Structure 1
Amino acid sequence: MERVENKRKVYNFRKLIVNIAGDIIKIVLGIILFILSIASIVYTCKLCDTDTLWEFTFYNKDNIFKYVIIIIGMIVMYKIYIVLKRNNKIIKYKSQYGKKIDIYKLLICMHCILGIGWVVCTQLTPRADQGFCSAIAANLFSATYDKADFLKGGYLNQYPFQSGIILVFKIIYSLFGINNYIAFQILNVVSVVLIDIYLMKVLKKITPVHAEKIGILFLILFFPMVFYTSFLYGNLMGCAFSTMAMYYEFEYFENHKVCNMILSTVFIGIALMIKSNYLIVLLAMLIFLGIDWIISLKKKNIIFAVIVICSYIIATSGPVKLLSIQENVYLGKGIPKIAWIAMGMQETGMAPGWYNGYNADTYLNNDCDSEKTAEEAQKYIRERMTYFAENPIYTIKFYTKKMLSQWCEPTFGGIWINQFEKNVTISRYLDSILNGGKLQKIVIEVLDVLQSFVYWLAFLYVITNRKRKNIFIWFPGTVFIGGFLFHMIWEGKGQYAFTYFLLLIPYAAIEAKMIVNYLTNKADEKYGK
């Protein structure tokens, strides 16, 4: 009897831990989404100024009345639906062949076509970090390459973590030809399709409600996904693989099969090799593995956690070691990570906490000594924290502007990154989108409304589902929390934020579908189906 009582106490304790973890996630996610929901209808930031090649953020007051007009329009449309329903004027379309058109697949194909069209019409060439990585990969094929990028003060000496994306460039160039940018960009389009498919698979794991069509529609309207297909960097590829890793971990939680463990580990490893930012996804994976272990006490979870950590070590250090061996050079520690935290606490003239070259300048000024650079960055952080503590109003303004510049700029830098050198003369329509024409104004307005709706719908989802006991539905939300908090501390940038914004779309789509279902059911009850 005593043994049974002890087991019951242990079970209740485990249940309590899971409930507390779930409550913390819901509270933090709810607070962040509420803040962003309010901020997004008060402010709309704009990123521009290509003359200096820097991202200058302008903080503009939003027009709240446009949201009122949109809501009134939606109410009018619902009233029209009611009138038509009352008078039996609703006509349900059927194909002449008796088959339903698969709208879901049609929308994914449409997204793919939009991506290919954007890549072909822009033919953007790489610059800044993407340009350096592309050039190094191309130089690796040259017998006369002097390897200056590997030497003291060189690009890879400063940023050895870029070895992974350089290897990706090298693989692509070996298969499709050196400097074949379109090949990389087409792979970005493939990544968009994979994100569409697997993010909607994640949505299905969250709810039995069929909200995939609304979800895909939101993804298509979220134009930055297409804008970033021309960006020769690891954002979309890493996002695709990390989303796949999340999905297969969801699968693992349901059946604890080894194949799902392996797939999830492989995909998060690839995502980390391409872009180290996806460490946030890996940490969320480990958190939920721990929660699942508390619930199920499966020993497999410990093995899963160990191989996930091993995949991180291999994915982040493997490419560095491989390039070092292949090129017979030594790549040291590079710029210490703490330098990015120090930079994230600085005024930059563009937006608070954005890139200003502090990390590289400090490293070079310290004769490329990682330890000395770390010491200087730590000293700066202590001084800055003291200043923040003594000036609370300034601190609030600083981090508010840093948040707004990342999360209330509706293009997430997608237009800005496409404003540079191209291999073609773009059409007047693209010129209007990219260079401040009427189409750009329309695109920004659409994205501004979509951004606000996603924040509000995701916030409502948290409120309406706060009593659900299934903690695993908050897996994507936990990644979002991690991304939001990380980039409030780290270097800020819209191109980092947008991949986390995508994780809110399943919640927003589900809540939108629930609202539509509620309203149509009300109409059906009153006027019949």
Structure 2
Amino acid sequence: MEKIYRILLGIFLVCLIPILLVLSYWSCRYSYYGTVDYSIRNLLIKDSTWKHIFIFLLASVIVYEGDKWLTAQNQINQEKICIYTLLATSVTAFLLGSIYVLNNPYYPVGDQISATAFAAYCRDGNFIMLCSGGYVGMYQQQKGLGILYEMLFALFGNFNYTPAKILHVIWWVLAILAGYGFLKLNTDRAIFRIVYCIMMLGCIPFLLYLPYIYGDVLSISFGMVMFWAVSAYEHYEKKRYIALAACVAGIAVLARKNTWIILIGVGIYAALVCLKKKKGQYLLAGFAILLTAALTVKAVDVMYEYRSGYPSDIGIPSILWIAMGLQETDGMAGVYNRYQQTTFAEHDFQQEPAAQEGKEYIRERLREFRENPAMARDFFKRKLEDQWIEPLFSSLKATESFDTDGEPLSSGITSLYYGNIHETVWKLANYYQSIVYLAGLVLGIALCGRWWQKKEIPTALWLPLIGIVGGFLFSIIWEAQSRYVFPYYVFLILFVPMGLYETGRAISRLPKHRRKTTEQNQTQEESLREIA
């Protein structure tokens, strides 16, 4: 079993390193930029590679020197500093997030307004959106968000979005707390937790997405809680942690269906731990989490079917999204173009013939890629770049619809979305992104070294990494949307402190190695002189 475990980890590392290498290379060479007036969806901007590398190395040295100072303190003082940092970060995040969401007049459009309108209509007994051609009839995954907003509207009134925005701020703080707990369980250096707090507070896209009336922030935060709870179960083997993980997994998958990617990662992680520790209870725990999430979704389906009389699972076949993800639309690779909805409607909302057309399109498109490999490489390169190296992950573009009752936007919001603050925020996020990817790459290389030397690696560290690899692979085939990959970017922040520390430690060893080499050369010269 130990041999199988190591082979599986080796295969995983073979997948992880090229992904992080490509993302690091792209993020240092160039970035996608949403123009200030949003007239161009994304504009390719050439970066100063050496400047990005210099900032990363500088951050690494600071982290390493900070670790030296911190380890000079006794254990009690180290923990006090960590707790004070966590407290300051949480309070700052809550205040900053609250001020931002209460002063940003963002009003939802598109899927957000449709999903929340569905919740309001259902509360009034109107289920027309569940019919075969209705919005939720086609997009069945919105039932999960619908039931969550039904509960919220029952407390605060229909279309009252302010409580949801405040909850998003709380979920941001919750993500910080959960990530801190995860690192405390699985790492042995206090500096990792401190740097993680600073990095999460400096994650500008997370702040900018707080007013966004959708399930993204909730699913990211509850995903973090799930990582901590699963890791805690491995450490303490208390069933309450699995109960918590199953609960938050069910809610997260209702909020965003792509949560299934990290849930599959939980299943893979459970199998790895089962192989390593030779205990079947971990496999049962992973199964319990997956089963709870599936039953939660099914329960919501049955509930709406019972209340409305409309059958569930009549929505657009998933294969049509994959087909759309292979299309070129206005010079952009794999972006949303209503293909799946149009095809479904053309087949009178019948799943089987619509799915068949999607499969035929995919076969034809793959044949084109085989005949023209250069075109295929260019297509998928542009598709991945569009999603993964836009430093703000479309957060400003996604929240650029406002309800001001005819009043002009405040100067601060105007500058953030269209002026000088926009430029500054984008540049900061650009350097931040290269730090995240480069640190992830360094950590991946360090993990390879430990794997090769057969050194112990905390099993729980693999859990978020499996989700990141799954998210990257999924982004290749699905609709190209930078917002969809943002969760995996946040999960990667967990590993940034370790990557910075490893780089700083490597830099600190360079002068010692140089002195050692010089001393060896001098010794050899003296020996040669004595012989002569």
TM tier relative to shorter chain: 0.7 to 0.9
Shift of 1:57: 2.2
Of 95, 114, 128 in structure 2, the residue corresponding to residue 132 of structure 1 is 114
- The alignment status of 1:27 with 2:9, answered yes or no, reads no
- Assess if the C-alpha contact under 8 Å between 1:57 and 1:405 holds in 2: yes
2:342 aligns to what? 361
1:102 aligns to what? 84
User: CA 1:284 to 1:51, structure 2 compared with 1: closer, same or farther past 3 Å?
Assistant: closer
* Aligned amino acid, residue 292 of structure 1: V
2:180 aligns to what? 200
User: CA 1:30 to 1:358, structure 2 compared with 1: closer, same or farther past 3 Å?
Assistant: same
* Aligned amino acid, residue 446 of structure 1: L
| SS of residue matched to 1:500 | helix
1:88 aligns to what? none
* Aligned amino acid, residue 471 of structure 2: G
- Give runs of aligned pairs for residues 252-263 of structure 1, distance below 5 A: 252-263=233-244
* Aligned amino acid, residue 479 of structure 1: G
* Aligned amino acid, residue 128 of structure 2: A
Distance (Å, rounded) in 2 between the aligned partners of 1:311 and 1:444: 40
Shift of 1:522: 10
Of 383, 405, 408 in structure 1, the residue corresponding to residue 389 of structure 2 is 408
In the TM superposition, what whole-angstrom CA distance separates every residue of 1:377-428 from its partner, at most 9, and x where no partner exists? 0000000100011110010000000110011000001111121123464321
- Assess if the C-alpha contact under 8 Å between 1:276 and 1:316 holds in 2: no
| SS of residue matched to 1:120 | helix
1:63 aligns to what? 48
- Assess if the C-alpha contact under 8 Å between 2:323 and 2:358 holds in 1: yes
- Give runs of aligned pairs for residues 302-381 of structure 1, distance below 5 A: 302-349=283-330, 351-381=332-362
* Aligned amino acid, residue 225 of structure 2: M
Q: RMSD value over aligned CA atoms?
A: 2.7
User: CA 1:163 to 1:292, structure 2 compared with 1: closer, same or farther past 3 Å?
Assistant: same
2:444 aligns to what? 462
In the TM superposition, what whole-angstrom CA distance separates every residue of 1:442-468 from its partner, at most 9, and x where no partner exists? 101100000001100111111123214
Distance (Å, rounded) in 2 between the aligned partners of 1:264 and 1:74: 34
Distance (Å, rounded) in 2 between the aligned partners of 1:71 and 1:337: 40
Shift of 1:140: 2.1
1:9 aligns to what? none
Of 140, 143, 164 in structure 1, the residue corresponding to residue 144 of structure 2 is 164
2:514 aligns to what? none
- Assess if the C-alpha contact under 8 Å between 1:41 and 1:64 holds in 2: yes
**TM-score, normalisation: structure 2:** 0.86
* Aligned amino acid, residue 26 of structure 1: L
Task: Indicate the larger mover: 400-409 or 501-510.
Answer: 501-510
- The alignment status of 1:390 with 2:375, answered yes or no, reads no
- Assess if the C-alpha contact under 8 Å between 1:205 and 1:473 holds in 2: no
Distance (Å, rounded) in 2 between the aligned partners of 1:266 and 1:356: 35
* Aligned amino acid, residue 248 of structure 1: A
Q: Which runs of 5+ in 1 are unaligned?
A: 1-13, 86-91, 93-98, 524-529
Distance (Å, rounded) in 1 between the aligned partners of 2:62 and 2:87: 27
* Aligned amino acid, residue 295 of structure 2: I
Shift of 1:66: 3.3
Of 131, 153, 156 in structure 1, the residue corresponding to residue 133 of structure 2 is 153
- Assess if the C-alpha contact under 8 Å between 1:43 and 1:404 holds in 2: no
Shift of 1:517: 6.5
2:465 aligns to what? 477
- Give runs of aligned pairs for residues 418-457 of structure 1, distance below 5 A: 418-423=399-404, 425-435=408-418, 437-457=419-439
Distance (Å, rounded) in 1 between the aligned partners of 2:493 and 2:53: 22
Of 241, 258, 279 in structure 2, the residue corresponding to residue 277 of structure 1 is 258
- Assess if the C-alpha contact under 8 Å between 1:50 and 1:419 holds in 2: no
* Aligned amino acid, residue 431 of structure 1: T
- Assess if the C-alpha contact under 8 Å between 1:227 and 1:415 holds in 2: yes
* Aligned amino acid, residue 134 of structure 2: G
1:526 aligns to what? none
Task: Indicate the larger mover: 278-287 or 472-481.
Answer: 472-481
Q: How many residues align?
A: 490
